A and B are shown apart, each in its own frame.
Chain A
Amino acid sequence: MESNNLKKTDIIFGLCNCTSNKKYPVLAEVIQKTPNDIITEIIDSGLKGRGGAGFPTGLKWKFAAAGNNPEKYVICNADEGEPGTFKDREILLKVAGKVFAGMAICGYCINASKGYIYLRGEYKFMLPGLNKALLEFHEIIKELGYNFTIKILLGSGAYICGEETSLMESMEGKRGEPRNKPPFPVAEGFNNLPTVINNVETFVNVTMIQKYGVEEFKKLGTQDSRGSKVFSISGDTPNSGVYELELGMKLSDFVEEYGDGDTKAVQVGGASGFCVPRKKFDETIIGFEGVPTGGSMMLFNSSRSMYNVLSNYLDFFAEESCGQCTPCRVGCQQLVQGIKAVKKGVKDEEYLDTLLKLSESIKITAKCGLGQSVANSFFSIVTNFKEEMIY
């Protein structure tokens, strides 16, 4: 396979004049087109959700646009809570205007007049800046002819509220307990009305696609992973921080650029993601066709105990699970206690196979993505680093 060298981009954070000069020129252009045209463009661009789930954005908007319900909503999921993810933090601090613009474009497309940003409670310090920017934004777009206002709602310390239905439950004043799907948010979302909920970065991409055009966007990335992605890199790296790269790169290229020379494993996609061991770096593609990520990339060198890593992730899930469904609530506790018991020698190493089978059951029976993803890191760490689980 031909090697892909890392391609850095500057779409998300770069100056583009689309939202500057306090005029939001990109929105002036958008309103000249029909909602249908814009949705077609977004579909054509191949843009997929940037929060981690990767659902085709244009398709989501198309579903929400259909149907004559007079009241619909646009929600920006800014509950960035996946361990190792902090890219939305930077996007909101540096280019919030692009996020607002993307939301306004969505509102225009699906005929929604109300937008919400659900901002994680840990980012409360951003509120004064965001509210100030919003004031200006509202004034400008009103003049441009948009009927759209954005309100910011704060989270209160619950990772699960990053799950779309849990987020909506929280907005409705309830416990963040995920709902049954179907129905999906585009049909019955916030207040049981049609809702588009997208990640912060996804909305920025929409704005940029409108600014630069679909063809420019399609030049980046691969067939299955169009465009660029913002990554948040941390751990055993001399270069912690936020970086924008084209999707579809080889993990080995990534490690060569960002590792410390002794990278043993990369956790792609946070605690809900996959742990890739050194021997698989070369064959692993970072993108929707390989291992997808919401942006979190954690690097571990050979001094690190993968048992500690897994233990930390499992404790996290056991604590942050909403607790409603049996496989996740009890299953996570069993995984936590299980690896402890094997490590201590209270259970023998065959018990790891019992736990692997259990994690598979959790994956296919849990009510939401949190439970369904626990098996990802469990499976990848236990199978690739079995000795570290036992000795």
Chain B
Amino acid sequence: MINLKIDNIDVSVESGTTILNAAKKLNIKIPTLCYHPDLRIAGNCRICVVEQKGARTLTVSCATPVAEGMTIHTNTLKVRTARKHIIELLLSEHNSECTKCYKNGNCELQTIAAEYKITNENFIDLVPLHNYTIEHYSPSIIKDDSKCIRCQRCVRTCEELQSVSALCVAYKGDHMKISTFLEKSMLDVVCTNCGQCVNRCPVGALVEKNHIEEVWNAIYDPEKHVVVQTAPAVRVALGEDLDMEPGTIVTGKMISALKKLGIDSVLDTDFSADLTIMEEGTELLTRLKKALVDKDNTVALPMMTSCSPGWIKFIEHQFPELLPNLSTCKSPQQMFGALAKTYYAKKRNINPAKVVSISIMPCTAKKFEADRPEMRSSGYKDVDYVLTTRELAIMIKQAGIDFKTLSEEKFDSIMGTSTGAAVIFGASGGVMEAALRTVYELITGIEIPFENLNITPVRGMDGVKEASLKIEGTLPEWNFLEGVTVNTAIAHGLVNAKKVMKNVASGKANYHFIEIMACPGGCLGGGGQPIPTDSDIRMKRNRAIYQEDTGMKLRKSHENPEVIQIYNEFLEKPLSHKSHELLHTTYISRKN
């Protein structure tokens, strides 16, 4: 333990603790900007400076480990003067149009400038000298250099958490900026649209492309029938932007709010998640049969999930040789979209041309996914607009709805019923668990032998998880799997996806089925979720998702009555011709 004094108070902390965290222990708050708990320490904004006795310069508290006998003062004239100067410097190169900025009210620069009451302009406005650009060609992300404070949180996120490095620091000196390869549009580079950078940008330099006005217009249009689907991860996070604690389950209130907004039919992505399990489970078994029975060694194993569009773009850029391994299943969002303008429209006797299909997603890549040219199986754009969780919260506030006091409502039908297996899609390991619950029962006739159907080995926040299951007692039809040990891997965060893919590409891996989610924690940590994010918040959302699962009447996808119904009435069976037409897709190589 190291003993030091902060603001005349003694404190003891473990060796290696930073001054910032030692101060936190004493409930002394030192402001930061470039610091983020998910990322390595940068120490470049210099906001968190404190005075250290005996030091020649001020000390950055986020980057300096404590030392025995250190004497720190966090609020002296020197510290205040310097910190005010730094804030003023940041403001002088910043386009301070707060009232028009998308991050107005949720901006870390705004917050600290307000705290220090920076009311007059001391320095020269440098903005006109910079020729800043705003880039909005990406379907998911808008990059506004005029707001950038060069904290590099986005670059570090893209490198450390996602191993994509689509963003970089370029040039030096007064030209230094956050850029892409050759300053190309985010649309034209390896950006996966995952939005993790948006989650960590402290200001309005990186925000999602928002579709709030388009959705309002659709709602107001009396000619249009607006259908909404909501992703599982939204219902455990939406409350955070509406003054509620992380991890509060707000499913019922969310439905109520959507109805109050004027949505014609509030339906559930979870329905199509259950559908995905039927299609993907059958697809896996088909591939296993080809490999083990037909001894066809051209069949692509391991099979990999395909519901994460950030992951899809990632593999299209980086491992296109492994595209055959992807499940051909669309994501639940896109399955839903294709069905909304065919099955749903037909059953409800609505002209599909008048259906506006909207999804509420924890994800920014879903905007990119909806725009993919092949996502028009219905004959129309299958998903017209994607709103992030954040955008929905904004609309709820705009409508003057008092979210906390809303009553709990239920999803509409058809395509509104779901099971616990579907809701866990929002957490890393959830797709795997849902698939195992169904596939195991399909091939053995009995429930998977985990207490209360909770397959805990695939759960949790470890970057790469592995789980193996020995199949015993198969039904005669599935004899070829008797005694086979099925090996699975689950990865979340693209840095971990890359690790697994390298193993697969080199032939070292021995898996049959892999679940990949692009975002840390899975969809619950998605690029469209409320800001801020950290491991604590994601853990709370994680617990809420599994709690929602255990609270549901039906826990296995194949038990979903609406799923049974759609096969009976419309799709016939998994992997049928109709299923392939509407629910399956293809991928493209994006390597140079």
Contact = CB atoms under 8 A, between A and B. Distances in A.
The reply, when asked whether chain A contacts chain B directly with Cβ atoms under 8 A, is yes
Max chain A C-beta neighbours (<10 A), residue from B41, B43, B44: B44
A42 B240 CA distance: 62
Interface string B22-52: 0000000000000000000101111101000
B303 to A, nearest CB: 37
Contacts of A323: 150, 169, 171-176
Contacts of A334: 89, 92, 123-124, 126
B399 to A, nearest CB: 40
B93 interface: yes
B44 A326 contact: yes
B57 A363 contact: yes
11 contacts: A180-B64, A322-B176, A323-B169, A325-B44, A330-B90, A330-B93, A334-B92, A337-B124, A357-B85, A367-B44, A372-B57
Interface in B79-133: 81-82, 85-86, 89-90, 92-93, 122-124, 126, 129
Interface string B48-80: 010000001110100111000000000000100
A210 to B, nearest CB: 32
A338 B125 CA distance: 11
Contacts of A354: 122-123
Interface string A308-338: 0000000000111111111101111110011
B378 to A, nearest CB: 48
B24 to A, nearest CB: 19
Max chain B C-beta neighbours (<10 A), residue from A324, A326, A331, A341: A326
Q: Is the interface of B mostly helix, strand, loop or mixed?
A: loop
A363 B152 CA distance: 22
Nearest to B41: A180
A135 interface: no
B54 to A, nearest CB: 14
Contacts of A329: 150, 173-174, 176
Interface of B: 41, 43-47, 49, 56-58, 60, 63-65, 78, 81-82, 85-86, 89-90, 92-93, 122-124, 126, 129, 149-150, 152, 169, 171-176
B85 A321 contact: no
Interface in A282-328: 318-327
Contact of A364 (B78, B93, B124, B150): B78
A325 B34 CA distance: 10
A175 interface: yes
A145 interface: no
Q: Is the interface of A mostly helix, strand, loop or mixed?
A: helix
A325 B46 contact: yes
A326 B89 contact: yes
B173 A320 contact: yes
Interface residues of A, number: 37
Given A319-B174, A324-B169, 8 more contacts: A180-B43, A180-B64, A322-B172, A329-B174, A330-B92, A357-B85, A365-B49, A365-B57
The 10 residue pairs across chains A and B that have the minimum distance between CB atoms:
A323-B176, A330-B89, A361-B85, A180-B63, A361-B82, A324-B44, A364-B57, A319-B173, A180-B43, A365-B46
A358 interface: yes
A325 B45 contact: yes
Nearest to A355: B123
A173 interface: no
Contacts of B65: 182
Max chain B C-beta neighbours (<10 A), residue from A182, A333, A364: A364
Contacts of B41: 180
Nearest to B84: A361
A338 B47 CA distance: 23
Given A319-B174, A334-B92, A357-B81, A326 B45 contact: yes
A2 B172 CA distance: 47
